[in-house]
Amino acid sequence: MTDAFYITTPIYYVNDNPHIGHAYTTIACDVIARFMRLDGRPVRFLTGTDEHGQKVEKSAQNHGEAPQAFCNRVSQRFRQLAEALDISNDDFIRTTEDRHVRATQAIWQRMAEAGDIYLGSYSGWYAVRDEAFYGEDELTVDAAGNRVAPSGAPVEWVEEPSYFFRLSAWAERLLAFYEANPGFIAPESRRNEVMSFVRGGLRDLSISRTTYKWGVPVPGDPDHVMYVWLDALTNYITAIGYPDTDDPLYRTFWPADLHVIGKDILRFHTVYWPAFLMSAGLEPPKRVFAHGWWTNEGQKISKSLGNVIDPFELIDTFGLDQTRYFLMREVPFGNDGDFSRRAVVMRINGELANGFGNLGLRTLSFIARNCGGSLPEPGALAEADRQLLAQAEACMGGMRNAMGRQAVHQALQYWNDLVSAANKYIDDQAPWALRKSDPGRMGTVLWVLADTIRQIAILAQPFVPAAAARQLDQLAVPADARGFDRIGAAGALAGGTALPKPEGVFPRVELPDEEAGAQG
């Protein structure tokens, strides 16, 4: 099936509770997955938790819990987050599941059979927080005089027997792969970053550890556990049936269409992962998109600063659709962004309440009051009517193109332009003035508006699923007529349809007084 679409989030470490960064990546993937489904594509959407490695083991110890019990508990929080965000994932993978241990040992064996794994000993720097090895030349010294990784994570010296993956032998093949697949790494700036890193030469990669136990045992040498990143990356194929490459899911969905990740884990996904796969005789994914990082009111988010944003609290404060919309709209996908409560309120009031919400409410209330609660029959269309309806159809094309490039913010820009055009159309056509002078024309204007709102709501579904559904309910659009194939004349509303009592779908929100005062 050529139009099948497989999209994944990173699997999240269970060392700590979910925060806004996790919610962001997951929402972005959900928006893209919903979009593709509405566009008629068979979609597989995967998320889950990364449960092995030293970082998780230490965290379990700090909590005084056995590692598996600890993982069960924190993994459950990530599931709850997915539910609270109304995420439409098809599967939720945990790396401590049997299916995953099998897949990870199988890929190891394929890589070993290919001659890419050898036993040696590692001595060098390791950052537990990043679960990453670093060369001396990559380290810097922090304000307190300690050596730190480029991410700022503390490093420790490690010396132990280790299996290695012959990554050095893959540099040329990786570069050839990037050249042949210009869309593999996005955005473009990230592609350049990765290519220059690989051009600089690659060292062989340590892929097993002997100084802790919380991992997948290396086949044939249980003194070693696998490096957590080899284990973690393999989740993307475990979940579609690997090592059974004849599994219908594997056959339909591999290679993955899109791994969405944060910019912090680019190297693992665009250097190690395709090399592991090619070594094992498997195809690399089609695309890896790295998004940026959020700061909180201008400050880096960190536990020590105490400014971690709890996504559950955001949903309670602003509402789920509002939170989803803000995160997707505020920042061009791929760039860093700043979270501020004031900015959330401005987006909600400006675009959701005054823009989309008000458009539906003013149109449908007018119909309820003046047309006996049913949709008027349209007469002949005027130029302005045709223009607005044409813009709705063009909006679909623009959004499809943008979403295909993960330009999520741009898709929402097209959508907002359509909302603005519809609001302007009401003011220009002034149906209230036509009520006495030309009721036939008034009916046509209201029908054009209602059918435009229908299309706006259909297009809004991936982003604000609950509010879009309420708006479509108010237009009496049946559940099976809400796909993107109904954009344009194919789904046009029938005149005479009885409409339910209109209600607003997005109330305005206010900042608590002291915050508004302090900042305004």
Query: CB of residue 8 vs ligand ME8: minimum separation in angstroms?
Result: 8
Residue from 6, 24, 122, 214 binding ligand ME8 (CB under 6 A): 24
Residue from 5, 7, 11, 364 binding ligand ME8 (CB under 6 A): 11
- Residue 25 interacts with ligand ME8 (CB under 6 A)? yes
Respond yes or no on whether the N-terminal peptide bond of residue 431 is cis (omega within 30° of 0). no
Query: Is the CB of 282 or the CB of 399 nearer to ligand ME8?
Result: 282
Contact 163, 119 (CB under 8 A): yes
Q: What DSSP string describes 80-113? A: HHHHHTT---SEEEETTSHHHHHHHHHHHHHHHH
Query: Is the CB of 198 or the CB of 327 nearer to ligand ME8?
Result: 327
Query: CB of residue 378 vs ligand ME8: minimum separation in angstroms?
Result: 46
The count of other CB atoms within 10 Å of the CB of residue 371 is: 17
117: left (phi over 0), alpha (psi -120 to 50) or beta: beta
Place of tokens 């010296």: 157
- Residue 215 interacts with ligand ME8 (CB under 6 A)? no
Task: Number of residues interacting with ligand ME8: please give it, by CB under 6 A.
Answer: 19
Q: Among 4-12, 153-161, 313-321, 341-349, which window interacts with ligand ME8 (CB under 6 A)?
A: 4-12
- Residue 21 interacts with ligand ME8 (CB under 6 A)? yes
Query: Is the CB of 24 or the CB of 133 nearer to ligand ME8?
Result: 24
The token duo for 81 is: 């987050």
Residue from 167, 198, 232, 320 binding ligand ME8 (CB under 6 A): 232
Query: Is the CB of 25 or the CB of 423 nearer to ligand ME8?
Result: 25
Strand 221-226 and strand 217-218: the pairing is: antiparallel
Q: In degrees rounded to 5, what are phi and psi of residue 387?
A: -65, -45
Residue from 239, 261, 412, 505 binding ligand ME8 (CB under 6 A): 261
Residue from 262, 379, 404, 504 binding ligand ME8 (CB under 6 A): 262
DSSP 8-class letter at 482 = -
- Residue 242 interacts with ligand ME8 (CB under 6 A)? no
Place of tokens 């064996």: 109
Nearest to 294 by CA among 260, 325, 263: 263
For residue 12, CA distances in Å to 19, 228, 262, 370 come to: 11, 12, 11, 54
Q: Among 20-28, 349-357, 377-385, 500-508, which window interacts with ligand ME8 (CB under 6 A)?
A: 20-28
Q: In degrees rounded to 5, what are phi and psi of residue 210?
A: -120, -5
Query: CB of residue 33 vs ligand ME8: minimum separation in angstroms?
Result: 16
Query: Is the CB of 73 or the CB of 424 nearer to ligand ME8?
Result: 73
Site string for ligand ME8, 370-409 (x = CB under 6 A): ----------------------------------------
CA distance 410 to 280: 38
DSSP 8-class letter at 352 = I
- Residue 233 interacts with ligand ME8 (CB under 6 A)? yes
3-class state of residue 150 by DSSP: coil
Residue from 22, 44, 191, 482 binding ligand ME8 (CB under 6 A): 22
Query: CB of residue 380 vs ligand ME8: minimum separation in angstroms?
Result: 52
Query: CB of residue 344 vs ligand ME8: minimum separation in angstroms?
Result: 16
Query: Is the CB of 90 or the CB of 503 nearer to ligand ME8?
Result: 90
Residue from 125, 165, 294, 339 binding ligand ME8 (CB under 6 A): 294
Query: Is the CB of 285 or the CB of 491 nearer to ligand ME8?
Result: 285
Nearest to 266 by CA among 191, 328, 174, 207: 191
The token duo for 289 is: 């998109």
CA distance 69 to 394: 52
- Residue 70 interacts with ligand ME8 (CB under 6 A)? no
CA distance 481 to 79: 30
- Residue 285 interacts with ligand ME8 (CB under 6 A)? no
Q: Which strands make up the sheet holding 208-209, listed edge to edge?
A: 208-209, 221-226, 217-218
Query: Is the CB of 39 or the CB of 130 nearer to ligand ME8?
Result: 130
Q: Which residue is nearest to ligand ME8 (CB)?
A: 21
List the interface residues with ligand ME8, window 48-67 (CB under 6 A): 50
Residue from 5, 6, 7, 13 binding ligand ME8 (CB under 6 A): 13
Check the CA dihedral 312-313-319-321 and report its sign. Answer: negative
CA distance 284 to 259: 11
The token duo for 385 is: 């009517």
- Residue 301 interacts with ligand ME8 (CB under 6 A)? yes
- Residue 12 interacts with ligand ME8 (CB under 6 A)? yes
Query: CB of residue 25 vs ligand ME8: minimum separation in angstroms?
Result: 4
Q: In degrees rounded to 5, what are phi and psi of residue 171?
A: -60, -50
DSSP 8-class letter at 377 = P
- Residue 39 interacts with ligand ME8 (CB under 6 A)? no
Query: CB of residue 72 vs ligand ME8: minimum separation in angstroms?
Result: 17
CA distance 253 to 236: 10
User: Which residues bind to ligand ME8, rule: CB under 6 A?
Assistant: 10-13, 21-22, 24-25, 50, 232-233, 235, 261-262, 264-265, 293-294, 301
